[in-house]
Every structure is written in structure tokens, then in C-alpha cells.
Structure 1
């Protein structure tokens, strides 16, 4: 009997490896593009708003379709959904590698996000059906969570190495190769499974969720351009709220809703989902800004920038594995709360960054950030999956992924927009801005990358004094924006810690 059990456990290891490989490819894509943002600002003349859309197009499509596609994988077959998703993702990556404008790149990023929406819930759904005992499932989810977190943190490392040797499109070609490898492995190793009783897609819920989240993200990203108190911005927030309300009403009245709103009556599910949302809100916003800080403010190359993420990648892996082990012993409430408190402390420290901050200090800041994500994400994911029946694992996985991606999408949108607003206003108030012609000033206020281009042009024209003044003013404005973004992230994770401490049960009930 022990031999049979050992064989069964051994046979599941290759499945876990393949699922983690697919997850790694998708996770790398969420952040690998960040280290290429300075290059895109120059090569594609992308401003701050376009840079946000380049990052968020992937996350937005990922977040809004992941629920529907999780249900589809349950109904029609999880292996087929995994292969289809990886194919769409890989095809989008090939298209993105040859984009010639910001608009084209945003479009292909959206295609990649659509493919990722198939892959993510399917991997976790298959995992939950292969590993059924709680302790084993917790360990498997811990490894899956570590892979996810490490992929997110190692994306800049991969992107940096490729940018050091090739053009920015090579980042996407590498992701397409990873997708092909994952497809081949999945075809050989993964067995198909499905739940034929899974209801058909809730088209109304899908449309309303896409419109609601899309309207909110669009409004936040465009707010610095139109003004946070402008009529268009306020109208956008009101419309997003109305669509969210309509979505809830629709799902409550629908016989087979895409989003089972009754799940939110389970505090284990609700508090865990909120914790994941808050954690990824902060993480994605951090990576969006810190990549630009390393390259545009500190002058590091792409590879050097990528390697500087090693402390956070390592800490996420350690925190994810420890988090699930400790959660089984000590309870989810304590571990998730501690994780979010570590997150908060890290962002309060990050807000003190300057042009002269040593990398040793920056690396030290990344350790509590990475540990915080690992301790929060893996136990919270296990809590979410444990709150839904096994046969509905795809839906539960979709909900987990949606909270993760919605949090990340809003993190880039909100933190990026807070930064953009502060950057533009601080730079325009500087003495250097008043020395520039209107056309040049308008260009520089778009991004710190544009400021670097303007400074180089001024140096080439022999005006080194003004060039240095512009560079200094732009860097100072960037740091003001980064600090404000870090305070926003700290506030969000502190709120998450309170939610986890008050509402998240220690153990399943």
C-alpha cells in the first residue's frame, strides 16, 4: 500500500512541474516589460500614460476574462484550455515583439492577457484536482505560489538580460519560446479533466465585468491628463460604480452567475480575496516605478536593473513556502496579517529613496516586501481554494486570479497615476521648467525618460547648464512621485492587514 501511495505521489510531481512552468511563463510576462519601459519611452516615444497602458493592457484583459475562462476550462476540459491559452499567449508575444508603435504593442499585450486568462485558472484548477488532501494541497499551492511570485519578481531579470544583448522585442520572443515549451510538456504530462455540469458562460456577467473594470482602469490612468476633479474623471468613476452595481444585481438574479456573489458571505473567502488584491496592488505599482528609478534616475543598465530584483524574488520564494507551512500550523489569520504588515513597513521605507540611496539599503527594503508577498499570497490562495468545492476548482481559481490581476491592474493605474500627477506638477513648478521652450517643457513633463532625451539634446547643443538643471529637476520630480506612490501602497496594505486581522478566520470552518 505504501508503494502504491509513493508511486501516486511521484506521478503527480511531473504534473506540478509542468503547471509551474506554464505559470512561470505567464508570471514573467506581467513584469518583464517593466524593465523595457525606458527603452519604449525612447524607441516608441511613449509617454507616462502610454507606458501605463502598455503594462495594464495585459493585466486588464487577464483580469476581466479569467473568471469566464476558469468556468470554460471546468466545463470543456482543463488540459485543452491550458494548451489553447498558451497558444494564444505565445502568438500574442510574437506579434508584440515586432510592434512598431505604442498602439500596436498595447494591442498585442491585450492578446497575451487573453491567453493568460485561460492558463492561470486552469493550472490551479488542475492542481486542486490532483492534490486533494489539505496538507499536500497546501504544499503544492505553496510551490505554485512561489513560482508565481518568483516569476513576477524575475521578469525584470529576464528582461534586463535580453535588453542588454538584444532589442526590446526579444523579451516577447523569449516568452513565446517559453509558451511553446510549456505546450509540449502539457501535451505529454497533463491528463484532461472536466466537470460537465459546469454551467454555460454568463455572457451578461462577462460583458458587465469587462465594462466595469475597464472603465475604472481607463478613468484612473487618464485622470492625470484631464484632472482628478474634472467632469470626465468624475463621470468615469460614477459610470464604473454604476456598472459594478449593475454587475452585482445581474449576478444575484442569474441562475448560473459567472461570479458567485454568495461566496462573499464566506469571510474566509472574502478576507483572503481582499488580502491578495491589496498585496498585488502594491507589488505591481512598486515594480512599475522601481524599474524606472533604477534606469532613469540611477543610470543602471537593463541587466543590472534586472539583477537588482534578486532580493525580492528570493524573499517571495521563501515567504511563499514558509507561508503555507506556517498557515497550516498557526492559522491563516496570523500569517496573512504579518505578511501585510511587512508589506506596509517596506513601502514606508521605500518612500525615503533618493538619488544617493545605496543599493544595500534598497535590497534591504526588498526583503520585507518579498517576504510580505509570500506570507500573504500563498496562504490566502489556499484559503480561497479551500472555500469552494473541488469540482468548482476552476471557478475558485478564476476568482483567485481575478483578485490578483485586478489588484495588479489597479496598482499600476492608481500608483502610476499618482506618480504621473506629482511628477508633472513638481517639474512644472521648478526653475528648470521655466527656462525651457513650451514645446520642450510639454515633452519633458510627459515622463522622466523624455527629460533624459531633452537633456541630451541640450548637451549636444552646448547648453550643459540647462541640461543638468532639467535632469536634476526631473529626477527630483520623479522621486516626489515615487514617494507618494509608496505612501499609497503602504496605506492600501495597512488596510489589508486590518481586514485580515479582523475578518480572516484562522482555520477552515
Structure 2
């Protein structure tokens, strides 16, 4: 009789804490390995694009999609994959995803045309879409609520460090082998983690609702079209019909998804959750965080390689300190989050990020590594301060039978933020670079001016071919790049600072209250969501 009075999410919580501490720690280790591999795969190919271009004769657009095809496939399938894990088993979703990821990652090592490599990367992204939400939802149902923030903090720190680990690993591989080794290594790593994941306890929620197929199709299409359009913006420009048309189409489909979900008894994503200040703060903050992270890497990698002349491996080594404050702050979130509250944590973290971007103005053509390191550490500290609390806010607002979907929302926010960060930074960099350089190239012939204004890399390549006469061109191009990079970091600093104020006004404090007068509306939305779930059961 007592059991009938216990809500399904309470039953799941009791089941989740039934395992031994050793079993939960092992689940955390496997989950961190899985998410680390998925994130590392996003950046691993950045160090090998030059080799790929030579070996496959890929165009610049094809090279972009060798990287971005993975991201688009991952983003558009995250929510359906998370729901499938909730419904049919999270460990099963993790295992299936790892197999698909391993096969898709290894396939390009045996293929030779750009289109085949793009297809293989997209297949790996499909597998990653099942892996990423499964790793987080396995943790949140395995750990008791009082320990979840600590586990999520370790997971979030690993996810945040994955980008640097991917560059570092691929840089080491390229020192000894050809680019094929990167694909083979990703495939083998996926199979190794698959073997380890077989030992993790199964996790399936019998109360999870059936898969909302219309919702899955709509949100998948919206994310795929929107992310693809954003990723094309730096190359085509925001005024290109494919870019703005894709953004409009993605927004319209997303709006249709919201209307459909509100009317369904068992939606894929309960839209009323966005009225919860913790959930909404988590989603908005993660978009900002990962936009800043990927925008920084997009600018920083080009600066370190093109201006300072670092090799791919040394570039990865140069960014390794980025992981230290991020990992420490994420792991300690269980201590400072209850004391400070989500509002102050997010405000302080985003403010630090803004300071980090402004501090990048000290960089010039002859910067030392230490002058690069300290703005990087400021930025990383701000990101690390916010990463785990925002993820915990999202997961904590959703009942246990929907943890896979909540994890997918968290991951989709990361992908959307990363794509936006690259698009904003890349668009400003490309536009300002061309405007700054073009007036100074009148003394050069037209065959030189065209490639030089496309990018710094092409300008340096042309300058090398010209010999001593190319030195002025290289200097002019590098100066124009520095000016445009500073413009990009200024815009990113302003965006993050504005987000800090807006999110700080909306986010709840330690007492769960907001500064803005929306508590009554939120309370009503929560009661309505509770009645909606009760009616569905």
C-alpha cells in the first residue's frame, strides 16, 4: 500500500542508489570516457585538415563538412536518442551508440573520396547522439540526489576538457603516423569503451512514456537545418539565402515543435520546463558557455598556428592548461553551488569569461606564451565555474523517467552554442580581415590579392611562393588578422557580459527565488506540469 503512494521518479531514485559505491564509481568512469571520446572527436580532425586536403583533393567546403557533418548528425538526433534510452534502456543506447560511432569513425581510414569521408563522419555523429545523453542519464539515475552534483561536476569537467584532449591526441598521432591513424584510433577507442560499458549496470525506466515520433522528427529537422545554416555562416555570410533561409526554416520548425509538444499528453520535451528558472537558466547558460568556448578555440588555434608558428602538436600542448581550472571548478561545484546559488555562480562565471576575452587584447604579433596563458586561464576559470552547475540545473528540473531527454537537451544546447560561437567569431574575423587588408594590397597583382583576402593561411602561402617580395604581404596579412581577431574577442566579450546580466536577473538564488517578478508564473507552470504528468500516468 505504501508503494502506491511513491511517485515513479522516487522509485527510480531508490533503484538508482541500490548499487554499491564501487559500482557507481565505475559507472562514472565509463560515462566520462564515453563523453570524453565524443567531444574529442569534434576537434580531433582540426589538426589534420591540411593533410586531408592534399590526400583527397577536398575543397574548403568539403573540409568544413568533414568536421561539421559529425556535429550536425549529433545535434539533430540527440533528443530522440535520449528518449529511446529512457524507454528501452540507457546502457543499451550507450552500447549501440559506441558500435555505430566506432564503425563510422574507422570507415574514413579505408575510404578515399571527400564525400565518403563526410558520410563516415556523419555515421559517427549518429552513434555519438546515442552515447552522449546516455552517459549523463546513467549517472543521474545511479547516484542519490545528494551526490549527483559531484558526479555531474566530474562528467562536465571531462566534457569541457574533451576538445583539448582531441587536439592533443591527434597532434601526437600525426607526429608519428599519417592522418589515417586518427580515424583508426577513434574507432578502436569506441570499441574499448564498448567492452568496458558492458560491465555497467543496466538502467531502464519502465514508466518512461512511448517515443513521441512527430516531436522527434520535428526537433531533429529543426536542429539539423538550424545548425547546418549556422555552420555555413562564416563561409557564405549571414546575408546568403541558404544561411538566413535555413535559420528561418529551423526557427519555424522549432516553433511548430513547441506547439505540437504543448498539446500532446506525453511529449518528447515538456515545454513547460522552460518556465522553470533553473532549467531555463541552465539551457541559456550552456549556449553562452559553449559559444564562448568554441569561439575561443576557433580564434586561438588560428592565432597560435598562423601568428606564433606552432605545430599542430604544440598548439594542443599550448591549450592544455585550459583544462586545469575548468576541471577543478567543475569538480568543486558540489561545494560552492549550494553556498552561492545558481544566480551568483552564473553571474561570476560569465563575468570572468568576458574579462578573459577582453584580456586577449594584449596579444600581438610577438606575444610570449605566458602572455597567451593568463587570458586563457581567466576564460577557463569562468567556464569551469558555470559548466557543472548549469548541467545540474537542467537535470534537477526533470523527473527521473525523463533523464535521457534532459541530458539530450543539455547536449543539444552545447552543440547549438558551439556552432553559434564559431559562426559569430568566424564571421566577424573573415569580414573584418578582408576590409582591413584589401586597401593595402593595391601594389600587388590581382592573382595575389584574391587569395590573400580570403584568409591568413592563404595569404601566408602566397607570400611564401613570392620569396623575399612576399614578406610585406605576410606582415600586412598578419596585422589585419590581429585587428580582426581583436574585433571578434570584443564582440564575444560584449555578448557574454550582456548574457551575464540577463541570466543573473533571471536565475534563482540560494533560496530558489528570482530577482525578477515571475515567481507566481513559474509556480503556476510547475503545478500545471505536475498535473500534466499525473494525468499522463
Fold shared per TM-score above 0.5:
yes
Give 2:525's aligned residue.
Answer: none
- After TM superposition, the structure 1 stretch with the greater mean CA deviation from structure 2, 100-109 or 399-408, is 100-109
Once the two structures are TM-superposed, the CA of residue 384 in structure 1 deviates from its matched residue by 1.0
Give 1:358's aligned residue.
Answer: 368
Judging changes above 3 Å, is the alpha-carbon distance between structure 1 residues 181 and 275 closer, same or farther for their aligned structure 2 residues? same
Give 1:165's aligned residue.
Answer: 176
Judging changes above 3 Å, is the alpha-carbon distance between structure 1 residues 363 and 227 closer, same or farther for their aligned structure 2 residues? closer
Contact 2:90 2:203 in 1 (8 A): yes
- After TM superposition, the structure 1 stretch with the greater mean CA deviation from structure 2, 368-377 or 410-419, is 410-419
- In 2, Cα distance between equivalents of 1:410 and 1:430: 31
In the alignment, does 2:71 pair up with 1:59? yes
Give 1:70's aligned residue.
Answer: 82
- In 1, Cα distance between equivalents of 2:317 and 2:376: 13
In the alignment, does 2:444 pair up with 1:435? yes
Q: Which has the larger radius of gyration?
A: 2
Higher relative contact order (CA 8 A, sep 6+): 1
- In 1, Cα distance between equivalents of 2:349 and 2:64: 27
Once the two structures are TM-superposed, the CA of residue 140 in structure 1 deviates from its matched residue by 0.7
Give 2:127's aligned residue.
Answer: 115
- In 2, Cα distance between equivalents of 1:302 and 1:506: 43
Judging changes above 3 Å, is the alpha-carbon distance between structure 1 residues 426 and 66 closer, same or farther for their aligned structure 2 residues? same
Give 1:446's aligned residue.
Answer: 454
Judging changes above 3 Å, is the alpha-carbon distance between structure 1 residues 384 and 7 closer, same or farther for their aligned structure 2 residues? closer
- In 2, Cα distance between equivalents of 1:99 and 1:372: 41
- In 1, Cα distance between equivalents of 2:38 and 2:212: 25
- In 2, Cα distance between equivalents of 1:230 and 1:56: 19
Give 2:350's aligned residue.
Answer: 340
Contact 2:222 2:254 in 1 (8 A): yes
- In 2, Cα distance between equivalents of 1:429 and 1:317: 45
Judging changes above 3 Å, is the alpha-carbon distance between structure 1 residues 13 and 224 closer, same or farther for their aligned structure 2 residues? closer
- In 1, Cα distance between equivalents of 2:35 and 2:216: 24
Contact 2:150 2:333 in 1 (8 A): no
Aligned counterpart in structure 2 of residue 270 of structure 1, from 270, 280, 289: 280
Judging changes above 3 Å, is the alpha-carbon distance between structure 1 residues 496 and 426 closer, same or farther for their aligned structure 2 residues? same
In the alignment, does 2:296 pair up with 1:306? no
Judging changes above 3 Å, is the alpha-carbon distance between structure 1 residues 484 and 206 closer, same or farther for their aligned structure 2 residues? farther
Contact 2:149 2:333 in 1 (8 A): no
Aligned counterpart in structure 2 of residue 185 of structure 1, from 196, 219, 222: 196
In the alignment, does 2:17 pair up with 1:8? no
- Report the 3-state secondary structure (helix = DSSP H, G, I; strand = E; otherwise coil) of the residue aligned with 2:509: coil
Give 1:138's aligned residue.
Answer: 149
In the alignment, does 2:195 pair up with 1:207? no
Judging changes above 3 Å, is the alpha-carbon distance between structure 1 residues 485 and 257 closer, same or farther for their aligned structure 2 residues? farther
Contact 1:149 1:313 in 2 (8 A): yes
Once the two structures are TM-superposed, the CA of residue 55 in structure 1 deviates from its matched residue by 3.3
- In 1, Cα distance between equivalents of 2:483 and 2:113: 30
Judging changes above 3 Å, is the alpha-carbon distance between structure 1 residues 99 and 194 closer, same or farther for their aligned structure 2 residues? same
**How many pairs does the alignment contain?**
496
Give 2:141's aligned residue.
Answer: 129
Once the two structures are TM-superposed, the CA of residue 415 in structure 1 deviates from its matched residue by 1.9
- After TM superposition, the structure 1 stretch with the greater mean CA deviation from structure 2, 277-286 or 484-493, is 484-493
Once the two structures are TM-superposed, the CA of residue 200 in structure 1 deviates from its matched residue by 3.3
Judging changes above 3 Å, is the alpha-carbon distance between structure 1 residues 114 and 487 closer, same or farther for their aligned structure 2 residues? farther
Give 1:481's aligned residue.
Answer: 484
Q: TM-score, normalised by structure 1?
A: 0.90
- In 1, Cα distance between equivalents of 2:101 and 2:417: 21
Once the two structures are TM-superposed, the CA of residue 225 in structure 1 deviates from its matched residue by 5.1
Contact 1:443 1:451 in 2 (8 A): yes
- After TM superposition, the structure 1 stretch with the greater mean CA deviation from structure 2, 76-85 or 50-59, is 50-59
Aligned counterpart in structure 1 of residue 103 of structure 2, from 81, 85, 91: 91
Judging changes above 3 Å, is the alpha-carbon distance between structure 1 residues 158 and 425 closer, same or farther for their aligned structure 2 residues? same
Contact 1:48 1:446 in 2 (8 A): no
- In 2, Cα distance between equivalents of 1:154 and 1:20: 13
Judging changes above 3 Å, is the alpha-carbon distance between structure 1 residues 226 and 77 closer, same or farther for their aligned structure 2 residues? closer
In the alignment, does 2:509 pair up with 1:502? no
- Report the 3-state secondary structure (helix = DSSP H, G, I; strand = E; otherwise coil) of the residue aligned with 2:454: coil
In the alignment, does 2:266 pair up with 1:256? yes
Q: TM-score, normalised by structure 2?
A: 0.86
Deviation digits for residues 397-449 of structure 1 (CA, Å, limit 9, x no counterpart): 11111111111122223322322223333333332x651333x5433443333
Deviation digits for residues 128-176 of structure 1 (CA, Å, limit 9, x no counterpart): 1110232x11111111111111222322211221222222332222222
- Report the 3-state secondary structure (helix = DSSP H, G, I; strand = E; otherwise coil) of the residue aligned with 2:209: coil
Aligned counterpart in structure 2 of residue 155 of structure 1, from 148, 156, 166: 166
Once the two structures are TM-superposed, the CA of residue 286 in structure 1 deviates from its matched residue by 1.4
Contact 2:215 2:261 in 1 (8 A): yes
- Report the 3-state secondary structure (helix = DSSP H, G, I; strand = E; otherwise coil) of the residue aligned with 1:331: helix
Judging changes above 3 Å, is the alpha-carbon distance between structure 1 residues 271 and 68 closer, same or farther for their aligned structure 2 residues? same
- Report the 3-state secondary structure (helix = DSSP H, G, I; strand = E; otherwise coil) of the residue aligned with 1:345: helix
- In 1, Cα distance between equivalents of 2:113 and 2:472: 31
- In 2, Cα distance between equivalents of 1:13 and 1:58: 30
Contact 1:340 1:493 in 2 (8 A): yes
Unaligned 5+ residue runs, structure 1?
A: none
- Report the 3-state secondary structure (helix = DSSP H, G, I; strand = E; otherwise coil) of the residue aligned with 1:355: coil
- In 2, Cα distance between equivalents of 1:351 and 1:260: 43
Contact 2:234 2:424 in 1 (8 A): no
